[in-house]
Amino acid sequence: MNLELDQDELGFREEVRAFLAEHLPQHLRDGAAATPTVFAEPDIGREWQRILHAKGWLGYHWPLQHGGTGWTPTQRYIFERECALADAPGLPVLGLKLLGPVLHAFGTPAQQSRYLPRILSGEDYWCQGFSEPGSGSDLASLKTTAVRDGDRYRINGSKIWTTHAHFADHMFCLVRTDSTVKAQAGISFILIDMRQPGVTVRPIIGLAGDHEVNEVFLDDVVAPVSDLVGQEGQGWTIAKFLLENERGGSCLAPALIAALQRLRAAGEHQPSGTGGVMMEDSDFADALARVELEAQALEVTELRILAEIAHGRKPGPQTSMVKMVASSLRQEVDALAVRLHGYAGLQLETRRPLYGNSSAEPIESKAAQVAAPAYLNSRAWTIFGGSNEIQRTIIAKTVLGL
């Protein structure tokens, strides 16, 4: 396995760097740097989406025939790494990275030609309706029903923690179509138009004051049978495929490394309160160095997974390891930022957004203002996409055979 970049890949990296230098505007970099949430707000995320779409670089996880770039896994990693280092806003991943590949693999030609171009153009904004009250880790117990009524389904139930449902016009959703069989076998994957009577979205405000997640109530909502993805009862298989994409082939280390580089640079100037700067505080410098080493080790692991994917092998439980380690490191990085900024890093500004002309003035700096909200928001990392406890169970079963 070769983890070094070859000449072509180095050339590609230069091309990406040149593109970012020319086409990633400063207000988007500032917006991304001042975003304490996991997802970027659609105003900056969609603007960046349009720029990448115009360049033809948006569907970089997609097959060529559906508007993809044909990049190798390594090129995708290089691209995401450079975007993270350049402070590019996050893209609307639910449509692009989660639903897109599902439709490529399981969608009908009609679903592909209707939905895929609109995901790329940004015309449709998707949310993910999997979790329900009481059915998060134990997802197979979900209760929302879809009952066939002629050429459509009638859907009743509720979803929770639905990220960006308040922006979304569509939701991909797991529903129960059969309650007489084993729990997993009775689940189907369906596409729901959110702009219809019976869909109610209620905000859940996070610890830091962010409105990122929601409750969604579905009361006699309808979806045409043509919006069922795969077969009835195939939803669990499709959900596993989607969650593997959510957890695996990931590129989580670069954002951590970029954040650590910024902390190290800031620490060279930030007063420590004892006459020097924070990088001269040996406790802080040691803690930073330890997290840097772990982030670099994570990056090597991500590259090893890429090498496996490039050889046509499935990454398997390594993806659970990466998700678990990256989530914990994210929280450690955000804790270091609060520590670095001292008093100013403890300020909790709840007005949003933290970027733009109407944002609140920081006490000391924008980075310090973002520290406390980001620290609080990143508690979610060890929960969403499967909590760390659930990832440990997967590792225990599949790697250790327990």
Active site members: 246
Single residue of 74, 128, 270, 319 touching ligand FAD by CB under 6 A: 128
Cα diameter, the chain: 76
8-47: contacts with ligand FAD (CB under 6 A) = none
> Does residue 20 contact residue 86 with C-beta atoms inside 8 Å?
yes
Single residue of 48, 125, 130, 167 touching ligand FAD by CB under 6 A: 130
The SS3 call for residue 13 is: helix
Q: Does 278 bind ligand FAD (CB under 6 A)?
A: no
Single residue of 137, 200, 231, 398 touching ligand FAD by CB under 6 A: 137
> Does residue 155 contact residue 192 with C-beta atoms inside 8 Å?
yes
49-108: contacts with ligand FAD (CB under 6 A) = none
What is the residue type of 1?
Answer: M
Query: What stretch of H or E contains 128?
Result: strand 126-129
The CB-of-118 to ligand FAD minimum distance in angstroms stands at 19
Single residue of 32, 146, 187, 213 touching ligand FAD by CB under 6 A: 213
The SS3 call for residue 198 is: coil
Q: Does 161 bind ligand FAD (CB under 6 A)?
A: yes
Contacts of 98 (CB under 8 A, 6+ apart): 126, 128, 172, 242, 245, 246
Compare residues 171 and 266 and give the one whose CB is closer to ligand FAD: 171
The CB-of-159 to ligand FAD minimum distance in angstroms stands at 6
Query: Residue 214's beta-bridge partner residues?
Result: 203
Distance in angstroms (rounded) separating the CA atoms of residues 29 and 46: 13
How many of the chain's residues bind ligand FAD (CB under 6 A)? 19
248-267: contacts with ligand FAD (CB under 6 A) = none
The CB-of-380 to ligand FAD minimum distance in angstroms stands at 4
The CB-of-383 to ligand FAD minimum distance in angstroms stands at 4
Q: Return the range that interacts with ligand FAD (CB under 6 A); candidates 61-69, 100-108, 128-136, 300-308.
A: 128-136
- Cα atoms in the 13 Å half-sphere on the side-chain side of 328: 12
Distance in angstroms (rounded) separating the CA atoms of residues 236 and 186: 8
372-401: contacts with ligand FAD (CB under 6 A) = 380, 383-384, 386-387, 389-390, 393
Q: Return the range that interacts with ligand FAD (CB under 6 A); candidates 16-24, 157-165, 179-187, 190-198.
A: 157-165
CA angle 347, 349, 213 (to 5 degrees): 125
* Cα torsion 89, 90, 95, 97: sign: positive
The SS3 call for residue 201 is: strand
CB nearest ligand FAD: which residue? 136
Q: Return the range that interacts with ligand FAD (CB under 6 A); candidates 126-134, 176-184, 238-246, 248-256.
A: 126-134
Compare residues 30 and 124 and give the one whose CB is closer to ligand FAD: 124
Distance in angstroms (rounded) separating the CA atoms of residues 159 and 157: 7
The CB-of-148 to ligand FAD minimum distance in angstroms stands at 23
* DSSP H helices in 205-311: 235-247, 253-267, 282-310
Q: Does 320 bind ligand FAD (CB under 6 A)?
A: no
The CB-of-379 to ligand FAD minimum distance in angstroms stands at 8
The first and second tokens of residue 58, run together, are 């948006």
Q: Does 163 bind ligand FAD (CB under 6 A)?
A: yes
Distance in angstroms (rounded) separating the CA atoms of residues 133 and 402: 29
Binding residues (CB under 6 A) for ligand FAD: these are: 127-131, 136-137, 161-163, 213, 380, 383-384, 386-387, 389-390, 393
